[in-house]
Amino acid sequence: MTGQAAPRFAVNDRVKRRAATHGEVGAAWLAGLDALVDGLARDWGLALGASLDGGTEALVMEATTAGGRAAILKVTLAGTRTIDGELRTLRLAAGRGYAEVYRHDAARGAMLLERLGPKLIDLGLSVADQIEAICATLQVAWTRPADIAGLMTGADKATALARLIARRWEETGRPCGGPVIDTALAFAEDRRRAFDPRTAVLGHGDAHAWNTLQVPDSDPARFKFVDPDGLFIEPAYDLGISMREWEEELLAGDALALGRARCALLSRLTGVPEEPIWQWGFLERVSTGLLLAEMGLDEQARAFLTVAEAWANP
């Protein structure tokens, strides 16, 4: 008996695991991926290149258009709504601070995107230099969107984080102290009340060094974002993501003092006040730590929550 042929357009194990959570829909997507990609290549006149690692919900691969333009083909997992927010954000940005969209087909979950260079995280820069690059890119990307339909607001984001934190804390056996949760819920209420549509911007939602890619041949180096969540929110939220990252640096000394110093740096680079950056950063750190605990990644969760404990108990 002849075995089934291996797929030509294979995805990484993370995408396979995510597809498995969608049951028959995810299995059908994986089984039909070769035909789907072949159809996109034919319809869009693409020469396909190497598959790229790093995604969690999509096949990502290099492609070249019939006119010789280098591009990235991204085909998102069926059964998710990932492409909806991402595509809306990228189209609203129109290449300003974000990868440009060349073509898209929402029904097939596909986008043809500008091909960028290496990730910021891979350039060997210090944490401070990475933060400076992210801040500079955010200041280009923060625009007033022409249409906010379908974008989560800052008030909604604060409410959603509060609910997630309360639920995950209970379901994971309360892996951090009550003061951490009390502080997080108080900060969430502060940010909910502070939402002002008159000063909100198009936010990325996950602006970290893995989602920040260098623009090829730019000198001095410029960067653009990929994989946006897409929010209508205060700028401080995007800066709070940098408060969530690089916990090893924070754990190497006085986590509270180092955290406050990072918050001051983010404020100084962008002109955004420190307190909302601090509050969003705390919320993101606690939420992510509890998510890691929920996933059974106890060591990583402990690192996130140890910093949160220090920040909640000055």
Sorting pLDDT into bands at 50, 70 and 90, what band is 22? confident
User: Is 291 strand, coil or helix?
Assistant: helix
> Kindly report the CA angle at 147 between 141 and 149, in degrees rounded to 5?
115
Q: Residue 2: what pLDDT?
A: 47
Give per-residue pLDDT as tens, 224-279.
Answer: 999 999 999 999 999 999 999 999 999 999 999 999 999 999 999 999 999 999 99
Per-residue burial over 74-105, b if 16 or more Cβ lie within 10 Å, else e, is: bbbbbbbebbebbbbbbbbbeeebbbbbbbbb
What residue type is assigned to position 111 of the chain? Answer: M
Whole-number mean pLDDT of the chain? 93
- Comparing 241 with 14, the larger pLDDT belongs to 241
CA dihedral sign, ordered 246, 251, 255, 261 = negative
Task: State CA 29 to chain mean position distance.
Answer: 23
The least confident of 30-44, 47-61, 234-248 is: 47-61
Average pLDDT over residues 186-194: 98
Q: Residue 79: what pLDDT?
A: 63
CA distance 190 to 30: 43
User: Is 40 strand, coil or helix?
Assistant: helix
Sorting pLDDT into bands at 50, 70 and 90, what band is 12? confident
- DSSP characters over 101-168: EEEEEGGGTEEEEE----BGGGS---HHHHHHHHHHHHHHH----S--TTPEEHHHHHHHHHHHHHHH
Q: Residue 80: what pLDDT?
A: 64
According to the per-residue pLDDT averaged within each range, which of 12-26, 53-67, 71-85, 175-189 is highest? 175-189
Q: Residue ranges of the alpha helices (H) in the chain? A: 13-20, 23-31, 33-44, 82-93, 127-141, 154-171, 178-194, 235-244, 247-251, 255-270, 274-294, 298-312
Average pLDDT over residues 16-25: 83
Q: Residue 85: what pLDDT?
A: 83
pLDDT of 21 above 90: no
Sorting pLDDT into bands at 50, 70 and 90, what band is 42? very high
CA distance 136 to 223: 8
Question: Could you tell me the domains of the chain?
Answer: 13-114 (3.30.200.20), 120-312 (3.90.1200.10)
CA distance 198 to 210: 30
DSSP-derived letter for residue 176 is S
What six digits make up the tokens of 85? 């927010």
Give per-residue pLDDT as tens, 278-301.
Answer: 999 999 999 999 999 998 999 999
- Quote the pTM value: 0.90
pLDDT of 4 above 60: no
Give per-residue pLDDT as tens, 70-109.
Answer: 999 999 887 665 678 889 999 999 999 999 999 999 889 9
What six digits make up the tokens of 63? 């492609």
**Could you tell me which of 65, 23, 69 has the C-alpha nearest to residue 46?**
65
CA distance 59 to 74: 6
Q: Which residues pair with 225 in a beta bridge?
A: 98, 212
Q: Residue 1: what pLDDT?
A: 40
Cα–Cα distances in angstroms (integers) from residue 257 to residues 142, 182, 262, 295, 305, in the given order:
29, 21, 9, 30, 16
CA distance 312 to 253: 16
